Structure 1
Amino acid sequence: MPPNPRLEPITPDNVGSACRLAIRPDQESFVAPVAVSLAEAYASPDIAWPRLVYDADELVGFVMGAFDPDPPVEFFRCGIWRLNIAAGHQGKGYGRFAVEAVLAEGRHRGFDRAAVLWIPGATGPEGFYLRMGFQPTGEVFEGEVVGTLPLH
């Protein structure tokens, strides 16, 4: 685990840096840019839980959880909508830290499982989510694999 990771909400002071966060080019087809995620969070303020990941004062990532007690699709109740870790900071534990923070928030809110969706592909996030304990449900939603993880 990195020495000093922390989550921070999006503010007028950090939104510009958040929008400039860059992942590896070979991953760009697997996750939306942070600016798109923030627009979605703005459109769903009662559901989206966007946070920036910092190590000391350095921005290293972005995660957006979602918490909806009554969604139209069951696996959208609690889970990870987005995870973007800066290209130079991948493989250092920041993604794990961010996912664990979303899972902890889900537990705190009383949810019993979390979900994540991913696009299959060689440089995609599937291996990471499987290592985190998510298991494919066998469902595919709009071309994305649905994975879930019990929270208890």
Structure 2
Amino acid sequence: MQARCHILAMGKWKKGPEKDLFDTYCARMRPAPVLKELDVRKKLSGPELKQAEAELLLNAIPNGAVVVALDERGKTMSSRDFAGKIGQWQDRGVGDITFIIGGADGLDETVRQRADLLISFGAMTWPHMLVRPMLAEQLFRADAILSGHPYHRD
């Protein structure tokens, strides 16, 4: 069974190469991941902003979904290990996998605690808008690995 992938992300896209790259990878996947952009409407900062973002993110998670939060303190994984994790969830019959990308200040602890898996794209700091196409590429790569497609090379 192919799980539906949802990407919950803080902030709205602007036209540009990052969005184009995200769209390119999503167009290659069936079904394509569903992106839901969330935005805090109030002028908040610091811990208040992170809490408001957390509330939006947590309320947008589909019922029964496995939750993967992208977090700088998360686990680094190889592409093959990432694909294997997705494959395990699909083998268990998980219908929805939700990936969470926080705002520029990171994730509130409540989101980290809700996550079934915390992953990091490495020790470097990445702009949160660049993380979207990076995630889309890794989801495409995971799909290629799981289906035996030659896109991924070790």
With structure 2 as the length reference, what TM-score do the two structures score?
Answer: 0.29
Larger helix share, 1 or 2: 2
**TM-score using structure 1 length:** 0.29
Q: Which has the higher strand share?
A: 1
